[in-house]
Structure 1
Amino acid sequence: MKPYIEDLKKLKHKLINESDFSIIANYFMDIVEQHPIISNAKIVKNKSLMNVVMAVGESYFNGKVIVSQSRIMHVKNTNFYHGTVMLNDCLSVFCYFEDLKKGMLSIHDSNKDKLFHVRITGTVIGKNKTYVDPYEKNTPTVH
């Protein structure tokens, strides 16, 4: 088993149970730093995930958001996606577990010297299609 698999399981647990999103974000960054997770990933396209990133960006910036330099990585033999994107020239990092239908997005707004975290949750609609809802009402969403 790859050494990061256990850490991804712990990250899943934190996404479900942790209310302090900075703990989730820090744990995710620790995984990326400690393991060659990028070498076990490939660049993919995921329109649903990019749509939710854009929706969160539009909500945060109160209107249209300029998306650039997006990169989504899928870790081989897992249901885990992570990536980076610039939203209105603010570096944003995200992770998402397709099997769990949960993830989070962090936006570093250097103009306000602020780090914004939001949990994202997907809902299965139709046959094998997932709608990722950044405004899920059952869990805290903004810290």
Structure 2
Amino acid sequence: MDLSLLETLRHKIATGKVFSEIFEYFFDHFGEKMEFFDEGEPAKDELLLNLLGQIGGAIFKTERVTLDRLCLMRIEKYNFIHGGMTMNGAVANVIYCDDLQKGILVVHRPKMSPPTQFARFSAEMLAPNLVAESSDFKH
């Protein structure tokens, strides 16, 4: 298994324009190979979970998102997390570079049009002076 191809995937996650092709690359080179799964360790990433909730909310147009059957795997050497889940009952997959804080989520809902939705996402900490305070905000 040539894990160096993860560097190409990381570049595609950060800069690629056609998200379906990025996932196709992932599945062609990694996602269906058992030896790839053997390289990873189970992962829990709070930032990624929060991001998935926010993105899921936008996709499903709701404030409440339920993630079930979440199975995330981390390949530490490449700062790479991948996994599957159901999101509000729909099948979903994520690929994420935790050092870049960038990833792509795919959600498949057969009865919707289009049935498959992709979202690239990133996380960035804002400097305190860039965050507007609301009088309703409680510290």
Q: Does 1:39 align with 2:38?
A: yes
Runs of 5+ unmatched residues, structure 2: 128-139
Mapping 1:122-141, distance limit 5 Å? 122-124=123-125
Identical-pair percentage = 25
Asked whether the equivalents of residues 38 and 75 of structure 1 are also in contact (C-alpha less than 8 Å), the reply is no
TM-score by length of 2: 0.80
4+ aligned runs moved over 2 Å, structure 1: none
For residues 28-78 of structure 1, the C-alpha deviation after alignment (integer angstroms, 9 at most, x for no partner) is: 111222462110111121111011111111111111222211111111422
Mapping 1:18-97, distance limit 5 Å? 18-30=16-28, 31-34=30-33, 36-63=35-62, 64-97=64-97
Counterparts of 2:66 and 2:34, CA distance in 1? 31
Counterparts of 2:18 and 2:81, CA distance in 1? 21
Larger radius of gyration: 2
Asked whether the equivalents of residues 3 and 35 of structure 1 are also in contact (C-alpha less than 8 Å), the reply is no
Alignment root-mean-square deviation, CA: 1.8
Letter aligned with residue 29 of structure 1: F
1:13/1:78 CA distance change after superposition, 3 Å:
closer
